[in-house]
Structure 1
Amino acid sequence: MSLLAASAEPSFSLISTVLSLLQVLGALGVFLFGMKIMSEGVQRVAGARMRAALSGITGNRFSGILTGFFTTSLVQSSSATTVLVVSFVNAGLLTLIQSIGVIMGANLGTTITAWIVAVVGKFEIASIALPLIGIGLPFLFIGKDKGKSWGEVLLGFGLVFFGLGLLKDSVPDLREMLKTDPGTAATIQNIVTWMGGRGFLSVLLYLVGGIVLTLLCQSSSAAMAITITCALNGWLGDLDNPIEVFRNSAAIVLGENIGTTVTAWLASLGANLNAKRAARAHFTFNVAGVLWMLVAFVPFTEMAWKITHLLPDSLRAAKGEFSSFDVAFATAVFHSAFNLANILLLVPFVPQIARLVEWWVRDKSPDSNKTQIRYISQGLVDLGELNLAEADTAIKAMSNVTSQMFDGFVNVLNNPDQDLSSEVARLKEMEDQCDQMLHDITSYLIQCSSHEIGPSNATRITAMLRVVSEHEEATDRIYRLVKTVQRKYEKGRHFSEEQHRELSAICHQVRAILDLCANSLSGISGEMYETANLLENRIDKLRKQHNKGAVRRMQAGGDVPTEMLYTETNNHLEAVGNHALNIIQNAERKSDTGIGARADV
């Protein structure tokens, strides 16, 4: 019997360990799922303002820091913000120097997680989490648009708190484990003892542990929650020596600061030159901070420990007494103070950091700095809402190419005596570029729409898909105009002065509606919409007048092939105007103010 009992004991211990590990993973899953729901709800509630803030940053690096801080505070994921920054740099929304400021702010914004974990550890979690879930749940079923999104925010916050509470309860207290499972507890103690008490080497060992933990979690927030929970339960050292436990957790935090840069680095793979440089800048900034902190580690942690004891007594134990919560709040203080000090220390050197990464990631190809649209996100937090800003910029770039192509056609039309074959070749490249942009932007928008987005953004994406299609059709028409004029030259046909005047008149109206079309992508008023309809009516009226004149000249014995080329040119010009009007109508739809009928092409 004793042999059976001895053999069953290790088996039971193994099962108990596995179950404990699964409980920890389950708690972490609730926390991460809550963060995902909360973040996506926040994007739907405040996504437009967050997009405007990120895409409207000026050259002032301090505004970038504030934008990065507030964006990350809302999304609660520095990885999500930095991935978004890499995506915006890739599309040309942000410069390299602007992106560095946002990344600095993101590092500070993510420190809020440590404070949430510390505060949650102090109070009874069910008193916070379950009421939030209870308030948010009905909105998921009865709410519409913003109401439903607010429900997701409340539900997400509740699940975050609930997950943290489960994590706190599922990570066993090492001192209690010594009584219930002495074998496993002794093993953990031996590991902690081996890693600790080695001076600076211990700091490096825990730092590497923080890097590995963040790589496994793919979330610095989740890694922070695990770190503080383990510290509270004695997994990072003997709580009878709290300053040592705190220093071990602080060293892990430093490792997490390095580990979180990997997500942005992976996101930059396949992106353009500046996006790669932005990811390297994130790595450089965080590693530089860790390096100087290693030099000042002991005095800095002592300062953070003293600041912790200045916190209100309601957050800690009775004044003058030690509580395990001191370790949690000291870790939060250290995390915030370190990132704030790192920003203050390195913000004057942003241009130098930019030059360093420019030297690190060199321009080896003439097209390596070309902006492109590429859907970049991460699994934990869906960025479908915020990534629409990149699509907006790409569509504006497509509109700019359309206008440039039309100017190129007018140049070819007005200079029949010059050899403009190189200009025709350039216009063909631009037409091919628009074909590629149609493919890229359409694929990008479909990827955005395949994720959780609000109803208003679903309508917006539909309008954007129509806009890029109309732009591509407009550039096709413009290139047909170029080929028509080229065919006229090759056949030795010549337009009369009257025909040139008439074509100049209709070209002037088309150029005006193209300008209005470009402006409508940033917002449209009722006056702009009326002007667009007026311009399209003028173009259609001119086209009919010109074609009737061509018919009269052919009836009077004029050159039929030349008049047919002239008629074809007028028809293509009128079609370009129709496409421009359709784009403006869809811009009107995007602002939900009603649209007119689609122009016939």
Structure 2
Amino acid sequence: MIVQLIMGVLGGLGIFLYGMYIASEGLKKSASSHLKNFLSRVTKNQFLGAFAGMVLAAGLQSSSAATVMVVGFVNAGLLTLRQAMGVMLGSAIGTTVTVQLIAFNITDYALIFIALGVLVFLVSSKSIGSILLGFGFVFFGMGIITEAMLPIQTNPEFAGAFVYLTDNLIITILIALVFTAIVQNSAATIAIAMTLAASGSLTMEAAIAIVYGANIGTVVTALVSSINASKDAQRTAVAHAIFKVIGVLFFLPLTPILVNVLDMIGGDIERKIAYGHSIFNIVNMLILLPFCNKFADWMVILISIKDKTPKHIKYLDKGSLEVPTVALIQVRKELGHMAIVLDKKMFHDFYMLLNERNAGHRQSIIQTEKIIDVIYRSNYHYLQKITKKDLSDEESNESLKYLYINNDLEGISDALQQIAHTTIKLETASSSLNEWEINGINELYKEVYKSYSHAVKAFEENDNNIAMEVINRNPMILRREKELRFQHFYHGENESSRLSSIYVDVINDLLRVNHHSVDISHTVIGMV
């Protein structure tokens, strides 16, 4: 009987968790592309942010997934720390939907959901089919767990053992916390508590304690995902954990009162537990929501930025790879960061490269190219991991575009580094470039830099008109290069072949920069 009980509970739990995963993936695919706009619109204040969190978690059916997504948005700079506080509190309420559905004994219709999900998946929409199929597995798994625990109802020894184990509410909370942290799903923990309570193996107080522990356990995933993220993302995850702990500390001495309130509401014990889960999160949100801004200030003090050399990668984090929409947003931000490094560290003071006495500036550009290489490789490998996920067509196209742009930005850094290497020859040359040659190179550089800055702007703003301006400027830059080359060979008075090769190599590399800028613009308008 013990073996059958363990097999039934573990097997049912496995189906339950797999169903949650399938449903969550389907919901991500069908709605995640709209999350960025949705969150940017409804996070203007904490109350609307809390509403956004409810919708987000209800859609994903996982406060852990919702929290990881919010941490990713904060890391990508799409949400501020203050905005994220309200979203976190609201996300806890959104996940109570699953527990309420289980309390309605909808498990009886699990096979209908599975059959309908398979039909929709094969005939119509894969994402909607996955949602239905996932919920079908959730309810089916819950049914298996319930059936496996039937012997407990008739065996006083089992019932007595569970009552003994859950006699201490603190220990019960810790057990539920650890279990939820392992399975990364509070709904699964609470669903098992419902089954145990229905069999008479759990008192109502112990079941509510499991609800407390399950709510704290959901913070572990977000905390892990924030380890390598930005400071604000770490602050968001820690604040979420503190919110949960404060809620439990507030409710723990009031547990008998909560049980009495649930008795007055009525219904079977599963429904009471579901109501208790909802009441805990709603009251917790109402108490803490007014203090969100103050919490954000406290988190800045608690997790301060230490004085150290900033890492080259600003936005990418491994935790967001499970949510491709967030991961792609972070790549986009990292590409923007890459373009800023190029602008400030490599394009800056280009004219100094043509002066033989500026060796330090050349070395700075050469060293910066190594930083660009680090960012390039990080973006490349991160995008490769994203492409291995089950992406929508839109996400696949976006990841391909980012691979192209990442390559072009790295190509620009290579060309600028090569100019620095080329102009090192000026340091040992017996004479310098003519003034009109230097002026010609600087004029060409200005046009090339203008195209580069416009291409970056077109990418960041997703503006096809600006991208077309860069493409339309290309013939003018090519003509200007031919004029400079002609003037150099036809009218040039410099007899040094070494200086001639420096001049030609520099304008060739500027053309390479312009070529990559045009390629970025082609990518923006979809010509890949």
Using the size of structure 2 for normalisation, the TM-score is 0.90
Asked if 2 retains the 8 angstrom alpha-carbon contact of 1:28 and 1:163, the reply is: yes
Asked if 1 retains the 8 angstrom alpha-carbon contact of 2:76 and 2:330, the reply is: yes
Q: Mean Cα displacement is larger for which, 525-534 or 335-344? A: 525-534
Q: Which residue is equivalent to 2:475? A: 537
Q: Which residue is equivalent to 1:234? A: 200
Q: For the structure 1 residues 523 and 588, does the alpha-carbon distance in structure 2 shift closer, same or farther, using more than 3 Å as the test?
A: farther
Q: Which residue is equivalent to 1:473? A: 411
1:205 aligns with 2:143: no
Q: Which residue is equivalent to 1:592? A: none
After superposition, where does 1:207-286 map in structure 2 within 5 Å?
A: 207-237=173-203, 245=204, 247-286=205-244
2:375 to 434, 437, 461: 437
Q: Could you give the per-residue CA deviations for residues 198-250 of structure 1, whole angstroms, max 9, x where no partner exists?
A: xxxx332332232133133221121122122222222213xxxxxxx2x3211
Q: CA deviation at 1:253?
A: 0.7
1:132 aligns with 2:113: yes
Q: Mean Cα displacement is larger for which, 537-546 or 91-100? A: 91-100
Q: Which residue is equivalent to 1:4? A: none
Tell me, in whole angstroms, the C-alpha distance in 1 between the residues paired with 2:310 and 2:497: 50
Q: CA deviation at 1:407?
A: 3.4
Q: Which residue is equivalent to 2:82? A: 97
Tell me, in whole angstroms, the C-alpha distance in 2 between the residues paired with 1:84 and 1:232: 35
Q: CA deviation at 1:478?
A: 1.6
Tell me, in whole angstroms, the C-alpha distance in 1 between the residues paired with 2:359 and 2:286: 56
Asked if 1 retains the 8 angstrom alpha-carbon contact of 2:116 and 2:132, the reply is: yes
Asked if 2 retains the 8 angstrom alpha-carbon contact of 1:35 and 1:157, the reply is: yes
SS in 1 for 2:324: coil
1:154 aligns with 2:120: no
Q: For the structure 1 residues 255 and 194, does the alpha-carbon distance in structure 2 shift closer, same or farther, using more than 3 Å as the test?
A: closer
SS in 1 for 2:200: coil
1:189 aligns with 2:174: no
Q: CA deviation at 1:409?
A: 4.4
Q: Mean Cα displacement is larger for which, 67-76 or 85-94? A: 85-94
Asked if 1 retains the 8 angstrom alpha-carbon contact of 2:173 and 2:213, the reply is: yes
Tell me, in whole angstroms, the C-alpha distance in 1 between the residues paired with 2:59 and 2:431: 65
The structure where helix makes up a greater share of residues is 2
Q: CA deviation at 1:584?
A: 1.9
Q: Which residue is equivalent to 2:284? A: 342
Amino acid at match of 2:518: L
Tell me, in whole angstroms, the C-alpha distance in 1 between the residues paired with 2:463 and 2:25: 31
1:582 aligns with 2:519: yes
After superposition, where does 1:182-581 map in structure 2 within 5 Å?
A: 185-193=156-164, 195-196=166-167, 202-237=168-203, 245=204, 247-306=205-264, 308-309=265-266, 316=267, 325=268, 327-367=269-309, 371-376=314-319, 382-410=322-350, 412-413=352-353, 416=355, 420-489=358-427, 491=429, 493-522=431-460, 524=462, 526-554=464-492, 558-581=495-518
Tell me, in whole angstroms, the C-alpha distance in 2 between the residues paired with 1:453 and 1:209: 36
Tell me, in whole angstroms, the C-alpha distance in 2 between the residues paired with 1:83 and 1:187: 38
User: Segments of 4+ in structure 1 off by > 6 A?
Assistant: none
Q: Mean Cα displacement is larger for which, 328-337 or 422-431? A: 422-431
Q: Highest Rg: 1 or 2?
A: 1
Tell me, in whole angstroms, the C-alpha distance in 1 between the residues paired with 2:516 and 2:398: 19
Amino acid at match of 2:14: G
Q: Which residue is equivalent to 2:10? A: 25
Tell me, in whole angstroms, the C-alpha distance in 1 between the residues paired with 2:501 and 2:165: 90
Q: CA deviation at 1:17?
A: 1.5
Q: CA deviation at 1:48?
A: 0.9
Tell me, in whole angstroms, the C-alpha distance in 2 between the residues paired with 1:368 and 1:166: 52
Q: What is the RMSD of the two structures over their aligned residues, measured on CA atoms?
A: 2.8
Unpaired stretches in structure 1, ≥5 consecutive residues: 1-15, 179-184, 197-201, 238-244, 310-315, 317-324, 590-594, 597-601
Tell me, in whole angstroms, the C-alpha distance in 1 between the residues paired with 2:263 and 2:16: 28
Q: For the structure 1 residues 270 and 21, does the alpha-carbon distance in structure 2 shift closer, same or farther, using more than 3 Å as the test?
A: same
Q: Could you give the per-residue CA deviations for residues 227-276 of structure 1, whole angstroms, max 9, x where no partner exists?
A: 22222222213xxxxxxx2x321121111111111222222334444433
Q: Mean Cα displacement is larger for which, 401-410 or 427-436? A: 401-410
Q: Could you give the per-residue CA deviations for residues 400-450 of structure 1, whole angstroms, max 9, x where no partner exists?
A: 222334531435258x49x65554444344322211111111111111122
Q: Which residue is equivalent to 1:163? A: 141
Tell me, in whole angstroms, the C-alpha distance in 1 between the residues paired with 2:3 and 2:417: 67
Q: CA deviation at 1:578?
A: 0.7
Q: For the structure 1 residues 215 and 574, does the alpha-carbon distance in structure 2 shift closer, same or farther, using more than 3 Å as the test?
A: same
Asked if 2 retains the 8 angstrom alpha-carbon contact of 1:409 and 1:478, the reply is: no
Tell me, in whole angstroms, the C-alpha distance in 2 between the residues paired with 1:446 and 1:162: 35
Tell me, in whole angstroms, the C-alpha distance in 2 between the residues paired with 1:60 and 1:347: 10
Tell me, in whole angstroms, the C-alpha distance in 1 between the residues paired with 2:158 and 2:225: 38
Amino acid at match of 1:570: I
**Structure 1 vs Structure 2: percent identity of aligned residues?**
26
Q: Could you give the per-residue CA deviations for residues 175-207 of structure 1, whole angstroms, max 9, x where no partner exists?
A: 3x23xxxxxx314324405644xxxxx332332
Asked if 1 retains the 8 angstrom alpha-carbon contact of 2:118 and 2:129, the reply is: yes
Aligned residues: 527
Q: For the structure 1 residues 571 and 264, does the alpha-carbon distance in structure 2 shift closer, same or farther, using more than 3 Å as the test?
A: same
Q: CA deviation at 1:503?
A: 2.7
Q: CA deviation at 1:74?
A: 0.9
Tell me, in whole angstroms, the C-alpha distance in 1 between the residues paired with 2:463 and 2:77: 27
Asked if 2 retains the 8 angstrom alpha-carbon contact of 1:65 and 1:106, the reply is: yes
Q: Which residue is equivalent to 2:122? A: 141
Q: CA deviation at 1:575?
A: 0.7
Q: Which residue is equivalent to 1:3? A: none
Using the size of structure 1 for normalisation, the TM-score is 0.80
Q: Mean Cα displacement is larger for which, 282-291 or 103-112? A: 103-112
Q: Mean Cα displacement is larger for which, 519-528 or 561-570? A: 519-528
After superposition, where does 1:6-17 map in structure 2 within 5 Å?
A: 16-17=1-2
Tell me, in whole angstroms, the C-alpha distance in 2 between the residues paired with 1:460 and 1:91: 16
Tell me, in whole angstroms, the C-alpha distance in 1 between the residues paired with 2:387 and 2:43: 29
Q: For the structure 1 residues 142 and 542, does the alpha-carbon distance in structure 2 shift closer, same or farther, using more than 3 Å as the test?
A: farther
Q: Could you give the per-residue CA deviations for residues 78-101 of structure 1, whole angstroms, max 9, x where no partner exists?
A: 111222333444444444333333
Asked if 1 retains the 8 angstrom alpha-carbon contact of 2:45 and 2:83, the reply is: yes
Amino acid at match of 2:118: L
Q: For the structure 1 residues 486 and 291, does the alpha-carbon distance in structure 2 shift closer, same or farther, using more than 3 Å as the test?
A: same
1:36 to 10, 15, 21: 21
Q: Mean Cα displacement is larger for which, 66-75 or 264-273? A: 264-273
Amino acid at match of 2:159: I
Asked if 2 retains the 8 angstrom alpha-carbon contact of 1:132 and 1:154, the reply is: yes
Q: CA deviation at 1:508?
A: 2.6
